[in-house]
Chains A and B, each alone.
Chain A
Amino acid sequence: DTGVSQDPRHKITKRGQNVTFRCDPISEHNRLYWYRQTLGQGPEFLTYFQNEAQLEKSRLLSDRFSAERPKGSFSTLEIQRTEQGDSAMYLCASSLGYSWGQDTDTQYFGPGTRLTVL
């Protein structure tokens, strides 16, 4: 049973460049979440998908950010025209989604992609 995987683990880029991160959730998990964590803070919600549908986007997700989950499996998060303030750890999590008799829906996190914008 493989967990959530993210690629790349580290990304260093220059301000103004575009970057794309990939997340592969646990197989058969219907929900996929993106969070961002800056130094000394807890993760903050960015967006989430139910299968291929993007159901919510945080106001933290500016127009420069876009996320997709085209076939309801892996997801990508793209940041255009990166800024130094985008430097953070980007975390992906997946969950099964509620099913009959299930009381809660635990999210399992990947190792994250650490982005450094110079």
Chain B
Amino acid sequence: DQQVKQNSPSLSVQEGRISILNCDYTNSMFDYFLWYKKYPAEGPTFLISISSIKDKNEDGRFTVFLNKSAKHLSLHIVPSQPGDSAVYFCAALRKAAGNKLTFGGGTRVLVKP
């Protein structure tokens, strides 16, 4: 039972262009959604989050959009930089469930110079 899914295992984008990563979920009880970035041999690094009561959150080059009716969220990175090349994980949590994170399978992003 995969409650959080990232259907694109990989994404390749040119430096300076927009990267769009997508995530779908099934559990309407999730309170928060988060994006983490992971480099090889390192732990995930928190990027940005959004509350289930909002539809957009922006932090510098990163913007997360939430469409509750479609149970879909996306992460936009503008402009993409070579240092953004990493695996990106979408995650969700319920406060009532101890905040444990439920992760998607990840999307590998390659930003070409």
Q: Which residues of A contact B (CB under 8 A)?
A: 4, 6, 31, 33, 35, 40-45, 48, 55-56, 91, 93, 95, 103-112
Contact = CB atoms under 8 A, between A and B. Distances in A.
A88 B46 CA distance: 21
Contacts of A56: 97-98, 100
Contact-residue bracket for chain B: 20 to 34
Given A43-B89, A104-B32, A109 B102 contact: no
Nearest to B46: A106
Contacts of A109: 36, 43-46
Nearest to B99: A105
B103 A44 contact: yes
Interface of B: 4, 6, 32, 34, 36, 41-46, 49, 51, 89, 91, 97-106
A24 to B, nearest CB: 13
A13 to B, nearest CB: 19
A107 B99 CA distance: 9
A110 B97 CA distance: 22
B49 A43 contact: no
A105 B34 CA distance: 11
Contacts of B51: 103-104
Contact of A43 (B44, B45, B46): B44
Given A40-B105, A41-B105, A42-B89, A108 B98 contact: no
B32 to A, nearest CB: 5
A91 B43 contact: yes
